[in-house]
């Protein structure tokens, strides 16, 4: 079975980096506005907002560059901060999860494990309706899973 890589293509990565940069600049602007005011608690607000911004930036960058390698032994999750292998015999299902936010409906692929805990596949979140790329990724993961467990 050849290795298949699931992740964002270069155009999607570039688009998501721009979105991440704009949000970071907006948070930096709010932090600068807080620091220019007078008051005893301004450093706490600016520090807390700065920590939150760094966590959000790293989390988004981790999701943008994360990939899943579909191999004969299982799903190999590779992100900036972690590496994990989920064997095929621990997979109970592959599903599409949809979340409704202010910016629209977001869809992503999730692996349901036998013990019930789900893991989001990095490189699959999208807010496009009827996204053919997401469907292609779902078919690839389900096909590899089916071949691996002999079903």
User: Do 74 and 145 have their domain in common?
Assistant: yes
The total number of structural domains in the chain stands at: 2
Is 0.95 surpassed by the pTM of this model?
no
Domain that holds residue 95: 66-149
Mean pLDDT value across residues 91-98: 93
pLDDT in tens, 36-93: 888 787 788 888 888 888 888 888 888 888 899 999 899 999 988 889 999 999 999 9
Domain boundary among 43, 63, 83: 63
Is the pLDDT assigned to residue 109 strictly greater than 90? yes
Residue 30: inside a domain:
yes
Residue 6: inside a domain:
no
Nearest CA among 84, 142, 87, 83 for reference residue 109: 142
User: Do 52 and 90 have their domain in common?
Assistant: no
Determine the Cα–Cα distance for residues 140 and 145; give it in Å rounded to an integer. 9
pLDDT in tens, 120-140: 999 898 888 888 899 999 999
């Amino acid at each position: 079975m050849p290795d298949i890589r699931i992740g964002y293509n270069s155009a999607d990565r570039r688009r998501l980096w721009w979105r991440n940069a704009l949000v970071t600049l907006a948070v930096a602007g709010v932090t600068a506005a807080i620091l220019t005011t007078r008051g005893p608690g301004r450093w706490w607000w600016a520090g807390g907002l700065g920590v939150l911004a760094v966590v959000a930036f790293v989390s988004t960058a981790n999701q943008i560059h994360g990939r899943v390698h579909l191999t004969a032994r299982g799903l190999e999750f590779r992100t900036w901060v972690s590496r994990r292998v989920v064997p095929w015999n621990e997979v109970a299902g592959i599903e599409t999860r949809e979340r409704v936010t202010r910016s629209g409906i977001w869809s992503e692929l999730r692996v349901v494990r036998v013990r019930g805990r789900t893991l989001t596949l990095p490189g699959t979140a999208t807010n496009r309706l009827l996204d053919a790329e997401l469907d292609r990724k779902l078919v690839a993961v389900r096909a590899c899973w089916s071949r691996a467990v002999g079903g």
